[in-house]
Structure 1
């Protein structure tokens, strides 16, 4: 029976009374529901505790919960009856209760829930609907908080059907209402810096000033006489490889520079450059009527000098002022992090990003290649990692795939895919030609569910063949571990690979060795390996929870006695602790990080990196085997980032700032509720906010911006000026289900990131011990200078760089995030 025919038939429960329904197969029954059942969502209140809901007894973190309802409507012409089917829905908030007697509900794992109506409990006639009240943890403030692609599975069949009306990335098609964001004065009040910004934007720089400004800004420049017409470029750069020159020519072609070519010569002169430019990436660019010349410290300097010329040149060619520029990078690490694990990014999209990174002088692409929701790189000898871990389907045993997550639906409408070995080698080579190093990350021991599940499938396959040794070689679980844990994304203990198992170390050695070999084949050996190491914890043991008999009305009540830290009930870890290999289960992630650092060093990699919580139980970089230990720091400034960077620096770590309140590009651009994004660190991060960051003096930022809720806070510097290696933007992918959403959220904020990573602005104050900053209280930052600098940057981006991004195919709304 075809789906179209099945959808036209009357749907009832098994054994229903309506003529013809009993002959429907289970898969046809599911198809009919998918065609005719629509699910919409309304959120009634984000403060349910004040309207009679006992959020504490429901176990909500900090006793904070919201009330809403699922509205199930029959959009077809015939009745739909309860019974014989289950509806699977996604929720990024924990669902604490479903309050309808007709429905049983169950948490599957992560964001996937099952709602099963009782047989005969209701019948929906044509156009009729049923409302299913529910309570969710925390709140729903953005349309993107509500996920699409609910699907139905009929009893007796594992063939799912997505609800047709919910198969969309346009949340307005299935979200009827969410409460407005609280519009009190603190949330919406403009900061003094934003007031100055608005004034500066009202009097934008002259055309001449704009023509002489590059993005990112240069160290210094001296105006020459007249201007030079650049219709194309004829490159003669001694010191660049043929493929690097080809990359520059490709950039020129993308920008439409196909007219009369200006001759661009260049050479490496090393330390002959002025002192502050005599370092990697430094150069002197001279643009004059007689031609263009680049004197560079090294090959990177030649490349960046040419990119500065292309930055000054309008799309399609045009007049460039005669000028001499002396320039060098601010930081050695100028990065962009891309999460390809939660939702995959296509190679073409990554290449397009690499093109822009090279153009704007960013030099590290941190690829988050694995997480709970996906494994994204082929590893020879471990085919299950991509055969199972890279795709999602409705297989609750997870022997064929991971269960659906993040609104992917049961057939990889989003979320599926991986980089083959050949694709990854090609990507590394492509990046190297643009002076971008790829920093691979395989997150462990937490956020490892895709790997754990895949290796369990491998274990079952080989054990069934009688290969017990092969089956156990890369097994990542202790099969006797009964630890009861809930992770940050609501998974159980299979989110953690077991650091006490032999299989875990074999797995790390295999994966690191294979990826290192790919880099060598590409001619770009790994210089930094990222261990991950974040969030290996049970969230129900956090400070927002209390025991069932607790009396604090502001905390959720849970059965704390039944909660475990990761691996607390693992016999393998118990034996390891008894042998003195670690002092407590809390130290197991850092212990495993030390072990992995040995593997990293064995593969010839000089630096291992980790998220800051991955090394919190280490004594310092001396605990690790690699020559250097780098920490990616992700505290917001209003939660103590200035103190954290001080602490890490004193211990000797190389620190890269990944500040959520300024550098997370999965956060919304503005307060508009239709702007997608998570917002735990910032409700609004436009390009101006990223541009306003003072990375070397984190306390200064407290005078420019409020906290995430618009409330001023103060920071006082303490101790000597910290040294940082650089900064990187983050594109976490939970809310970026497709590549168009990714590019919408990354561009043009990545240009502001590049500005701060390459160039230190005059309005950034030098760090001084004991100096206090607070918005609306202190007045030490030259906000007029900040605004004027922003106006110059914005003018260039709007008039020269946005047309270039359009030519490059980056999908985005014009000027998004610049002045909204």
Structure 2
């Protein structure tokens, strides 16, 4: 992979101080920036955005940008499809799909993308330039494209539920950072959050828990019923909202473990067949789907049939993590399955389970993603691995020829604390210590040979919500670490932590303009080099 090139030509600006502190401050770092040394263009209320005729996708992209700039810059731009315009948006098939080129000259601003997504990313960079320079813009040229095709973030809505409007706020955060995948964790031991019309008890019973443990798994509970789920109409609305911002939603339906809520609704799907409850505290529980019953697979396939109609994503995440095998060891149906399928043990039974679900997904035009536990007992060559227990699982999978998304808890778990001594200064986290600098230092290709690197699709940040019950808390844990993750996955070899600090001061302006409740620690302790 070629190293990113940052070209800055510093000439005298007419009436504009342009020292090192005033260089374009865009995150993620663009591949190439050329400053041409003069004030070029001033935006006014009469500035028009010119679109190709009858391009509905670009029109919606322009509308979103107009709404954003009206809020952030108090400037209402106009959209045109004929005559002329000062901000010209076009799709250029000669560019890579997510690449863009942004040119600011005396005649206006040209933003070209290899697709509508590329144009959208160009507008996000332009948005940051407006935050930095205001409406008086320097002459410059940006050529940019991402390093990784998969740039993701996961939000767990099983432990705590977030409203549709809150989910849209989270999607807006991702869009600002050029993140293109939203991994939506929808089922858990503590709550089933997706309407499945064929199985109404999943939401009637499985989405509700009687109370919630207080604090860090203390002996005390709040005594307050808790619940919530998304209707299919709401899910379609969110999918459309994300797609307009070029974000693909990957739903996660947990199996065979983390199934307490589903089993509370349909106890016949468990090995024992009775006594299941939606869990009220956190952890790993022995209640799992029975791998020996055909009714289990019939149920899960019926669930997935509705899921794939709601989510057009190529990938469906099926969990596969933290699945205790205690109940399988004593279940006659599971032991019979092991014997009939000539399996070695319960690890191979889980592989049988995953492979069977994967074959069903493949038959229906989708592909499976699972957490790295699905490597245990063997997996198919076509499964994609999400490596969370460090990078070892991802490295092993890439070396075996499987596609990999790197999301190690060592660098990418955004529910971990951001300071070494969080007591008294940080809200609840699950533990651990992952500051912005740690996220920024991550190398998704570490320990891989050049021939193995193409199997790494990209990386993802995860926000588990055992101790995160509000969107304010989500934003605090997400920002500004999401910016560091975005730069690793977009810019990769072009990274420089000190320059990142400088540029983050500009992105911070947008956080404040949008009212995002970011964590202050990185800014409070940073010495921005001028």
TM range (shorter): 0.7 to 0.9
**Which entry has the higher C-alpha Rg, 1 or 2?**
1
Residues 66 and 77, structure 2, Cα contact 8 Å, conserved in 1:
no
Cα deviation for residue 268 of structure 1 reads 1.7
Cα deviation for residue 615 of structure 1 reads 3.1
* Aligned with residue 423 of structure 1, among 228, 234, 242: 234
* Aligned with residue 801 of structure 1, among 497, 502, 507: 507
Question: Is 1:810 aligned with 2:525?
Answer: no
Residue by residue, what CA displacement relative to the aligned partner does 1:758-809 show, whole Å, maximum 9, x if unpaired?
Answer: 112346xxxxxxxxxxxxxxxxxxxxxxxxx3232222322x2223222323
Match of 1:649 in 2: 398
Question: Is 1:742 aligned with 2:474?
Answer: yes
Note the 1:424-443 alignment, pairs <5 A: 424-443=235-254
Residue by residue, what CA displacement relative to the aligned partner does 1:273-307 show, whole Å, maximum 9, x if unpaired?
Answer: xxxxx422011111112101122211211111111
Structure-1 separation of matches of 2:516 and 2:294: 45
Structure-2 separation of matches of 1:719 and 1:293: 37
> Are residues 490 and 810 of structure 1, via their aligned partners in 2, closer, same or farther at CA, if it must alter by over 3 Å?
closer
SS at match of 1:295: strand
* Aligned with residue 388 of structure 2, among 634, 643, 664: 634
Question: Is 1:518 aligned with 2:310?
Answer: yes
Q: Which has the higher contact order (CA 8 A, sep 6+)?
A: 2
Note the 1:104-123 alignment, pairs <5 A: none
Structure-1 separation of matches of 2:373 and 2:314: 22
Any gaps of 5 or more consecutive residues in structure 1? 1-204, 272-277, 395-401, 457-474, 520-524, 539-564, 622-627, 700-716, 764-788
User: How many pairs align?
Assistant: 489
Residues 392 and 410, structure 1, Cα contact 8 Å, conserved in 2:
no
Structure-1 separation of matches of 2:343 and 2:523: 48
SS at match of 2:396: helix
Residues 744 and 811, structure 1, Cα contact 8 Å, conserved in 2:
yes
Cα deviation for residue 566 of structure 1 reads 3.9
Structure-2 separation of matches of 1:269 and 1:418: 41
Cα deviation for residue 481 of structure 1 reads 9.8
* Aligned with residue 323 of structure 2, among 536, 545, 567: 536
Structure-1 separation of matches of 2:307 and 2:214: 27
> Are residues 430 and 453 of structure 1, via their aligned partners in 2, closer, same or farther at CA, if it must alter by over 3 Å?
same
* Aligned with residue 361 of structure 1, among 178, 184, 204: 178
* Aligned with residue 792 of structure 1, among 472, 495, 499: 499
SS at match of 1:761: helix
Cα deviation for residue 382 of structure 1 reads 1.5
Structure-2 separation of matches of 1:302 and 1:490: 43
Question: Is 1:503 aligned with 2:295?
Answer: yes
Question: Is 1:410 aligned with 2:159?
Answer: no
> Are residues 249 and 527 of structure 1, via their aligned partners in 2, closer, same or farther at CA, if it must alter by over 3 Å?
farther
Residue by residue, what CA displacement relative to the aligned partner does 1:190-224 show, whole Å, maximum 9, x if unpaired?
Answer: xxxxxxxxxxxxxxx97554441211110111112
More moved, 419-428 vs 402-411? 402-411
Cα deviation for residue 344 of structure 1 reads 1.1
Match of 2:49 in 1: 235
Structure-2 separation of matches of 1:750 and 1:296: 24
Question: Is 1:383 aligned with 2:200?
Answer: yes
> Are residues 338 and 427 of structure 1, via their aligned partners in 2, closer, same or farther at CA, if it must alter by over 3 Å?
same
Cα deviation for residue 692 of structure 1 reads 2.2
Question: Is 1:578 aligned with 2:309?
Answer: no
Residue by residue, what CA displacement relative to the aligned partner does 1:637-678 show, whole Å, maximum 9, x if unpaired?
Answer: xxxx2x543321122211111011111000001022232455
* Aligned with residue 726 of structure 1, among 442, 458, 479: 458
Note the 1:117-132 alignment, pairs <5 A: none
Residues 531 and 609, structure 1, Cα contact 8 Å, conserved in 2:
yes
Cα deviation for residue 721 of structure 1 reads 4.8
Structure-2 separation of matches of 1:311 and 1:364: 21
Question: Is 1:455 aligned with 2:216?
Answer: no
Note the 1:4-83 alignment, pairs <5 A: none
Structure-2 separation of matches of 1:759 and 1:725: 14
Cα deviation for residue 502 of structure 1 reads 1.7
SS at match of 2:66: helix
Note the 1:747-766 alignment, pairs <5 A: 747-762=479-494
* Aligned with residue 493 of structure 1, among 283, 286, 290: 286
> Are residues 814 and 645 of structure 1, via their aligned partners in 2, closer, same or farther at CA, if it must alter by over 3 Å?
closer
Cα deviation for residue 257 of structure 1 reads 4.3
Any gaps of 5 or more consecutive residues in structure 2? 1-16, 79-84
Match of 2:525 in 1: 819
Note the 1:678-697 alignment, pairs <5 A: 678=429, 682-683=432-433, 685-696=434-445
Structure-1 separation of matches of 2:355 and 2:380: 11
* Aligned with residue 88 of structure 2, among 262, 265, 271: 265
Q: TM-score, normalised by structure 1?
A: 0.56
Question: Is 1:347 aligned with 2:164?
Answer: yes
Structure-2 separation of matches of 1:375 and 1:408: 20
Structure-2 separation of matches of 1:218 and 1:652: 31
SS at match of 1:438: strand
Residue by residue, what CA displacement relative to the aligned partner does 1:334-389 show, whole Å, maximum 9, x if unpaired?
Answer: 00011111111222221112112112210000011111111111111222111222
> Are residues 343 and 813 of structure 1, via their aligned partners in 2, closer, same or farther at CA, if it must alter by over 3 Å?
same
Structure-1 separation of matches of 2:486 and 2:51: 24
Match of 1:616 in 2: 376
